[in-house]
Amino acid sequence: ASWFGHVEPAAKDPILGVTEAFLADPSPDKVNVGVGAYREDNGRPVVLDCVREAERRIAGSMNMEYLPMGGSMEMIEQSLKLAYGEDSDFIKDKRIAAVQALSGTGACRLFADFQKRFLPDTKIYIPTPTWANHHNIWRDARNAPDGSFFLLHACAHNPTGVDPSEEQWREISHEFKVKKHFLFFDMAYQGFASGDPERDAKAIRIFLDDGHQIGCAQSYAKNMGLYGQRAGCLSILCDNEMQAVAVKSQLQQLARPMYSNPPLHGALIVSTILSDPELKSIWLQEVKCMADRIIGIRKALKENLERLASPLSWEHITNQIGMLCYSGMTPEQVDRLANEFHIYMTCNGRISMAGVTTRNVAYLANAIHEVTK
């Protein structure tokens, strides 16, 4: 008998499967607007200047020792300043339990494991729709009794690109207070929505001002372009320092049998950039530049569709924010885009604006017009 004969192939990942189909297409016209990874206007991936400079500074001076189980203290400290505010009292009072995580996914997963171990009777409520991997990390959706856990996207909601306004966040915060809910922020795009990391942290700051305890997953994949480095941070705001010490020790305990300690290089890049005023200001310019390109190309896509006299409204293309555009196209229309125009996106009609460039925007607009008219 075979040990593994009963193992069926896993279902294709809805996002990574799109890239596979794109790669297999020999057409010179093909366009990949599936995966949410930033591209320059020439369609190529980008390594930020601040990252290259940080690497130069690190090179030759670092050793290859293990990081502590909880990760790089410098990187965590800088991450907390970014999310909670440079002068946050919560940081000064050491009330935040935080560990370096394997990017945003790892931060979410670690929190899910923590929740399962210490609050086994709680569920978490996630948005509909949401990033597909949230369903894999947590599994549940029902009416929420008081005192429930919720996950919300801090900014640049994936896949819709629709965020609550500041006013709405205040209302959400009020409702959460009344219902004694706990909010876990998934912040995978800080800086990418508006171009300003401070502005994109507004929802978190509102919750902090209102006296909530929160959790937060941070990722440097998009805003520093560190996708493959898996640099991120998980933080949980506690009642006091003693509680934070206990929670952090348990987070480390959860990480130990999974991956022992997190990777070094990405953490060093992040802490080198954020702790150096010159590098940080280059980063702020670069993240704004990425966000601005996305905002500009949204406008171009909308204008191209209007020029084709599409009778449909495309206002949402520019009203939405962040790298992703929830176009409203049906799975059938998405199929036609792939089969007839070699344009690849997820079946929910989500366009990664990062894959749209001045060269292909007219072609994309024309194809969208053809399949939606």
Minimum CB distance to ligand PLP, residue 185 (Å) = 10
Minimum CB distance to ligand PLP, residue 351 (Å) = 14
Token readout for 235 is: 């933080």
221 binds ligand PLP (CB under 6 A): yes
105 binds ligand PLP (CB under 6 A): yes
* H or E segment and range at residue 78: helix 73-84
Q: Which of 111, 131, 182, 207 binds ligand PLP (CB under 6 A)?
A: 131
Residue nearer to ligand PLP on the CB measure, 31 or 187: 187
Q: Let me know if 264 is exposed, middle or buried by CB neighbors in 10 A (0-12, 13-18, 19+).
A: buried
Minimum CB distance to ligand PLP, residue 252 (Å) = 20
**Closest among 126, 211, 143 to 173, alpha carbons compared:** 211
Within 141-180, the residues that bind ligand PLP by CB under 6 A are 153, 158
Q: What are phi and psi of 110, to 5 degrees?
A: -65, -40
Residue 344 near residue 33 (C-beta atoms within 8 A)? yes
Catalytic amino acids?
131, 186, 222
Residue nearer to ligand PLP on the CB measure, 201 or 367: 201
104 binds ligand PLP (CB under 6 A): yes
Residue nearer to ligand PLP on the CB measure, 161 or 300: 161
Within 32-51, the residues that bind ligand PLP by CB under 6 A are 36
Residue nearer to ligand PLP on the CB measure, 235 or 304: 235
**Closest among 50, 111, 99, 109 to 73, alpha carbons compared:** 99
326 binds ligand PLP (CB under 6 A): no
Kindly state the number of chain residues that form the binding site for ligand PLP, as judged by CB under 6 A: 13
Token readout for 110 is: 């670690």
Contact segment (CB under 6 A) with ligand PLP among 64-72, 101-109, 169-177, 292-300 equals 101-109
Residue nearer to ligand PLP on the CB measure, 155 or 237: 155
Minimum CB distance to ligand PLP, residue 26 (Å) = 28
Say if strands 231-237 and 182-187 run parallel, antiparallel, or are unpaired.
Answer: unpaired
Q: Which of 32, 103, 148, 352 binds ligand PLP (CB under 6 A)?
A: 103
What CA dihedral angle connects 328, 332, 337 and 343, to 10 degrees? 70
194 binds ligand PLP (CB under 6 A): no
225 binds ligand PLP (CB under 6 A): no
Minimum CB distance to ligand PLP, residue 94 (Å) = 26
Distances (CA, A) of 106 to 74, 253, 270, 284, 321: 19, 15, 17, 25, 24
Minimum CB distance to ligand PLP, residue 339 (Å) = 26
Q: Which of 188, 254, 365, 367 binds ligand PLP (CB under 6 A)?
A: 188
Q: Which of 100, 219, 223, 352 binds ligand PLP (CB under 6 A)?
A: 219
Cα angle 182-199-177, degrees, rounded to a multiple of 5: 20
Contacts 24+ apart (CB under 8 A), 196-203: 196/284, 196/288, 197/82, 197/223, 197/284, 197/287, 200/154, 200/155, 200/156, 201/82, 201/83, 201/84, 201/85, 201/154, 201/155, 202/155, 202/166, 202/169, 203/152, 203/154, 203/155, 203/163, 203/164, 203/169
CA pair distance 313, 326, nearest whole angstrom? 13
Minimum CB distance to ligand PLP, residue 152 (Å) = 10
Residues that bind ligand PLP (CB under 6 A): 36, 103-105, 131, 153, 158, 186, 188, 219, 221, 227, 232
